[in-house]
Structures are given as C-alpha cells and as structure tokens.
Amino acid sequence: MGLDGPVCESVINRLQSPEINAAAWPILMAIAIWIESPVIDLLSTSTTLAKDRQRYEQISRFVLYLLLWVTVAHAAIVLSPIYGLIAEGLMGVKPEVAAAARSGLIILIPWSALIGWRRYLQGILIRHGQTRPIGVGTTARVAALIITAASLYWFTNLPSIVIAACALLLGVAIESGLIHWLSRDVIARHFTLQSDTADGPLTMKRLAAFHFPLTATTMINLLIMPLVSAGLARTERPVLALAGCGVAGAILFLHRAVTFCIPEVVITLYRGESNVAKLRNFSLGVGAISSALILVLGLTGLDRILFSQLIEAKPPITEVAHSCYLLSAAVPFVDAAQAYVRGVLTAHHLTVSRLVAVLGMLVVLIGVLVIGVTFRWSGPVLGATAVTSALLAELAVLSLAWRKVRASGQHLLTN
C-alpha cells in the first residue's frame, strides 16, 4: 500500500506544472485521509470484536451506516464552499494549489467507503488467522494503480493530479471487491451458526463506545498532515516546501507502513505476560530496522536517486525532500513503539486512553508549528521536527497508560 504515494508522485513530477501539482498532492491526501478517518479503525474494531454471528451482523450494520456517512461528508465538503474555507482559509494554501487538489478530491468521493468496507473485512480475516488474502488484495491494488496511472499517462492529456486520483480510486475499488470475494469462505465458516459469548451480545451502544474513541483518536491523529501542511504553507517558500516534503513523505510512508499492522498483530496474538516481551521486541525491531534504513539511504545520498530518478522530482524539490527525509529518521521507530502500546491497550478494550494520548500529541504539534513559523524555520526542519515531537508526546502518554494497566494487574488478562 505504501507504493501508492511514490507511484502517484512519479506521474505528477513527469507532467505539466509539476511544482503546483506536487504541492497539491499532500493537500489532497491530508483532506481525503482525514475525511476517511472514521472508517480507518474498523480494522481494529472487527479484529477485536468479530467473534460470532450476532457480533458480525451488528458490526456489519454499523459499518454500512458509517460508510454512508463518510461518503456524504466527503461530497458535502469538496462540492461546496466549505472546501475553500478549509484549504485556502484554515490551511493557507495558495488558490492554484487548492484548485488542483480539489479536482482530485472530487474523483475520490467513493474512496472512503471502499476503504472502510475493505478494512472491516480485513479485520475479520486477521481475527481468524487468514492474512494471505490481504496480501493478494494489496498486490492487486498496486498492480491496478500502476496500470491505470501508466495508461492514463501515455494515452490521455488529463492533469497529473487527476491521473493520480483515478489510479488511487480504481486500485482501492479492485482491492475492496477482491477482499469481499476472498472473505466469503471465512465468514461462512465462522459466522453461519449463532454462538454465545461470555460477555453477552454486542449492542450498538457497546459497539459505539468501543469504536468512536478510536475514531476520535484517528481523526485527531490525522490532523498532523493538514496542520503540518498549513505550517509549510506559511514558510518563506511555501510551494517548494509543500512539494519537497510531499515527495519525502511518499518515500517515508513506505518505512512507516511496515509498522501500521502491528496493533492488529498484537490484538490477535496477545496472551498476557506469557508473550508480551516477544511482541514488544518484535515491534521495536521492525521500527529500528525501518529507521536505520532511512539513515543509510539519507547519509549516503541514495535517497536523492529515489527522488530524482524514481519520482523525477526537480533538483530544488529533491534537495528539500532529502533534508525532510533524513530529519524524519526517528519516525518509523516511534511509530512501531506506539503501535505496540496501542495494540495492548486495545486488546484490553481501553480505547479512551488512546484518545487522551492523541490529544497530548495535538497540543505538542500545534506548539512546535507555532514556534517554527514564528522563528521562520525552513520547511524540512519545521515538518520533520513537528511530526517527530508530536509522535514522541503521544508515545509518552500511551506508555504511561500502559504502565498503569500493568500496575493494576489487568495485563494478565488474555485476548
């Protein structure tokens, strides 16, 4: 999935107005992913709660309502003056950059619903140990994205941001349909007969109490992208800063993506004190390797080859991307540590503690951005410092919450 960004960036930097469209790309993704945020944690919700037929049916109804809501919300924002208030008003984006991002966002109106349905079914597959179909679906998604992007690049005169959005949408649509097909046997096998659970049936109230703190957490967490973009838009060379940091973010996402599935791994495999050390060491090892790779590529200058040759960023954009990428080296390790703690807290149904942690993150993020803009930090320094500081703050609060859980003895419970 992490290949989405580099593929789209490579198309954007090969066509007309590369700097404007490259600057529009992080704006497009920031807004699209924030609108999508209520459905992102359906993965954790279904992994944790989809235990029997009654819960499956209840969660399915809940999911369909949620998908309808995010689709309507997306359309209402991008097709109305609200978009201008967000992009040009709150985020401070230049009009030409905001207009380019808007054209892609209109194409992506069905995107959130497709992703939500896919993540819901992926959680069920993970819950029952069937992870191979997820890899098959992701492979199909990337193949569809590359084929679509290449075809539109060679055979049409569409703007690059439109090509990228079309490729994203078709890739997700194919993946969602394939996951729907591949999950049928698992659903039929595990949810055909009604079964009873020790803690009783799952009500909508209980489901909402579990999921919506996760949703609020993700919505606040995903404010990182639009807030950092707003900060970059207020630097001395805003278009170059947005373009360069966007290119760096596309490659950085590949390093971060390997940590994103850790919470579901922990939720599924957590067995209390018997294996907590193994899960922790595995998680931190993944993050350490990913961060080390950034240092190797950044310090040797090999990252410049990725930016200039693979993505075909222009020299000024490449230099900004190089600085931002190297300064962000700690991010994957912090992501992995966070992911482990979030997993164990979710396994104990302690989702509110995750919300408290992300509120702390938001305070630190805004504080660093204000300081950076006030003292005129460069784009790479502002972006990398703000993100790293915010993630460290969130990790500190999560770790404190987990320490309290261990002190209370709740960690001895098994999933």
Map tokens 């222009």 to a residue: 314
- In this structure, the number of other CB atoms found within 10 A of the CB of residue 133 comes to 18
Nearest to 78 by CA among 48, 52, 100, 50: 100
Digitized pLDDT (tens) for each residue of the chain, 415 residues in all: 677 877 888 888 787 777 888 888 888 988 998 899 889 888 888 888 888 888 888 899 999 999 999 999 999 999 999 999 999 988 888 899 999 999 999 999 999 999 999 999 999 998 888 889 999 999 999 999 999 999 999 999 998 999 999 999 999 999 999 999 999 988 888 776 555 555 667 788 888 888 887 788 778 877 888 889 889 989 988 889 988 998 899 899 889 989 988 988 888 888 777 788 899 999 999 999 999 999 999 999 999 999 998 888 889 999 999 999 999 999 999 999 999 998 888 888 777 777 888 889 999 999 999 999 999 999 999 999 999 999 999 999 999 988 887 777 655 554 4
Q: If 0-12 CB within 10 Å is exposed, 13-18 middle and 19+ buried, where does residue 228 land?
A: buried
Alpha-carbon span 107 to 121, nearest angstrom? 24
3-state secondary structure of 352: helix
Residue 199 near residue 149, CB atoms below 8 Å = no
Q: Give the pLDDT of residue 414.
A: 47
In angstroms, the CA 10 to CA 4 distance is 10
Which of 366, 352, 360 is CA-nearest to residue 395? 360
Cβ within 8 Å of residue 130, ≥6 positions away = 183, 186
What dihedral angle (degrees, nearest 10) is formed by the CA atoms of 53, 59, 110, 127? -70
DSSP string, 161-179: HHHHHHHHHHHHHHHHHHH
Give the span between the Cα atoms of 400 and 353, in whole angstroms.
10
Cα–Cα distance measured from residue 143 to residue 102, given in angstroms and rounded to the nearest whole number: 25
- Sign, CA dihedral 198-405-264-285, equals negative
Q: Which of 260, 259, 265 is nearest to 279 (CA)?
A: 265
Please tell me the predicted confidence (pLDDT) of residue 338. 94
